[in-house]
């Protein structure tokens, strides 16, 4: 699909989630237990807001983000604000958290959630990760949770992250990557794209993109295989392809990675 088509599909599907739909055809995004484990862990975090949690994450980047009091934090693909509310508790009243999302319904929901809390140092902005309407060198920390895999041009996205970070600032991103080439049908189907699979980059390529954009100290803190349910595999693969997929090292993984913008 063309970049514009991909973005339209993502906006349409995530808009439906706000209205009570789902991101794939099933009850959950990609359906794996490991993949959707984060809601229970988020519930234990200070600042957690259940109204902002649609269970769409593939990790908990705030756990590895080293967010400090007074920090300026940017969350990319912030959705209804799940990571933003937790990050706000970490930065305190002297800090500032900005959520960026390009789905109108998600931004509206996040602002509604924020209004209920009465927070003045948490804002939500509508915008594209590949071309952020945000100033250079502003943020101490950039977060993202299972979103960059949906961005067509990941190199451009990481260049934008580099631009908005302060020198010495860092990002912490949880995302979906692949190991080994996935069958073409699984990669190109629009439903799987919003189900967080078809837009996923190969693991090594993902890390190479980060390094090529100028980041230093790139570290993978966590890597977990996402076990797709049998019905999902069978929807996209023949029996022979499915047997090969399950018996090989090929697969879909959630990772949490950090990188630093050099001073």
Helix/strand/coil (H, E, C) string of 75-139?
Answer: EECCCCCHHHHHHHHHHCCCCEEEEEECCHHHHHHHHHHHHHHCCCCEEEEECECCECCCCCCCE
- What is the structure's pLDDT at 12? 73
Q: Report yes or no: 140 and 169 within 8 Å, Cβ to Cβ.
A: yes
Give me the pLDDT at residue 32, please: 39
pLDDT in tens, the chain (263 residues): 666 666 767 667 776 777 774 444 333 344 333 344 455 678 888 999 999 887 888 889 999 999 999 999 999 999 999 999 999 999 999 999 999 999 999 999 999 999 999 999 999 999 999 999 999 999 999 999 989 988 989 999 999 999 999 999 999 999 999 898 777 777 767 566 556 666 789 999 999 999 999 999 999 999 988 877 787 788 888 888 888 888 888 888 899 999 999 99
Q: What is the pLDDT of residue 6?
A: 67
CATH code for the domain in which residue 56 is found: 3.40.50.150
Cα–Cα separations (whole angstroms), residue 254 to 50, 118, 199: 22, 34, 13
Rg (the chain; Cα; Å): 17
pLDDT for res 58: 86
Give me the pLDDT at residue 30, please.
41
pLDDT at 193: 59
Q: Which of 245, 247, 208, 196 is nearest to 6 (CA)?
A: 196
The Cα 42–Cα 124 span in angstroms is 20
What pLDDT is stored for residue 11 in this prediction? Answer: 67
d(CA 129, CA 101): 8
Query: What pLDDT is attached to residue 65?
Result: 98
Domain count, the chain: 1
- Residue range(s) defining the domain that contains residue 228: 3-260
CA distances from 33 to 69, 71, 79, 179, 241 (A): 33, 33, 21, 19, 23
């Amino acid at each position: 699909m063309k970049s514009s088509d991909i973005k339209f599909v993502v906006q349409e599907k995530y808009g439906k989630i706000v209205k009570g739909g789902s991101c794939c055809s099933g009850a959950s995004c990609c359906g794996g237990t490991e993949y959707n484990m984060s809601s229970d862990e988020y519930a234990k975090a200070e600042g957690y807001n259940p109204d902002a949690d649609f269970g769409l994450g593939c990790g908990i980047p705030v756990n590895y983000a080293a967010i400090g009091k007074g920090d300026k934090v940017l969350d990319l693909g912030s959705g209804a604000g799940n990571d933003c509310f937790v990050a706000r508790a970490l930065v305190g009243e002297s800090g500032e958290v900005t959520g960026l999302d390009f789905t109108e319904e998600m931004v509206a929901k996040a602002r509604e959630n924020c209004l209920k809390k009465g927070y003045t140092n948490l804002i939500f902005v509508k915008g594209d990760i590949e071309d952020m309407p945000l100033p250079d060198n502003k943020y101490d920390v950039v977060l993202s949770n299972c979103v960059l895999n949906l961005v067509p041009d990941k190199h451009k996205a990481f260049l934008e992250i580099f631009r908005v970070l302060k020198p010495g600032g860092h990002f912490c991103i949880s995302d979906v990557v692949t190991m080994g080439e996935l069958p073409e049908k699984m990669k190109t189907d629009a439903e799987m794209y919003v189900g967080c699979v078809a837009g996923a980059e190969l693991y090594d390529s993902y890390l190479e993109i980060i390094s090529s954009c100028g980041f230093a100290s790139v570290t993978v803190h966590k890597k977990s295989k996402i076990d797709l349910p049998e019905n999902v595999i069978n929807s996209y693969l023949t029996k022979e392809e499915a047997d090969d997929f399950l018996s090989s090292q090929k697969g879909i993984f959630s990772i949490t990675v950090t990188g630093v913008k050099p001073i």
